[in-house]
Amino acid sequence: MFRILGIDHLVLRTGDVTALMRFYVDVLGCSVERVQAEFGLIQLRAGGGLIDLVALDGPLGRAGGAGPGRQGRNLDHFCLRLDPFDADAIGAHLRAHGVEPGPVEMRFGAEGKGPSIYVHDPDGNMVELKGPPTGKQ
């Protein structure tokens, strides 16, 4: 049999690769892992996993139909575990980049219940920024 070790990568289709790259690299601190221009694909390192950005006008993007917008999104949300998690510092950093964070709330995740903040990327995808578990389940 097998066991799941974690999420390897997720793929976001977008009409504005530049705006998403700025958000994930400049605001959240991902780094560019690999660019495959022939596919319209940019792969960003996010800790132990990858966030793939697929241009809607590229070969992969065209295969997926309509892109994200007000009438529909790529996904509900995904969660990035942060360390350290200083809610005030994170909020100040996000606001300095023109991103308005949601309130800090206790939410359950892979490691247990802990603080998290929701933000939206330029395409409207919701990203949960998650801190460590508090020990209270």
Integer Cα distance of 19 and 121 in angstroms: 9
pLDDT of 70: 66
- CA separation for the pair 90, 92 (Å, rounded): 5
Higher pLDDT, 40 or 65: 40
> Of 51, 50, 49, 52, which Cα lies nearest the Cα of 5?
49
Domains and CATH numbers, the chain: 1-64 (3.10.180.10), 76-136 (3.10.180.10)
pLDDT value at residue 112: 85
Gap between the terminal Cα atoms of the chain: 30
Burial of 44 (0-12, 13-18, 19+ CB in 10 A): buried
**pLDDT per residue as tens digits for the range 74-133:** 677 889 999 999 999 999 999 999 999 999 999 988 888 999 999 999 988 889 999 999
pLDDT at 63 over 60: yes
DSSP string, 98-114: T------EEEEETTEEE
- The mean predicted confidence, pLDDT, of the chain is 88
User: In this predicted structure, what is the pLDDT of residue 129?
Assistant: 92
- Residue 100 contacts residue 94 (beta carbons within 8 Å): yes
Query: What is the β-pairing status of strands 41-46 and 112-120?
Result: unpaired
Query: Looking at per-residue confidence, does 112 or 65 come out higher?
Result: 112
Q: What is the Cα–Cα distance from 73 to 95, expressed in whole angstroms? A: 24
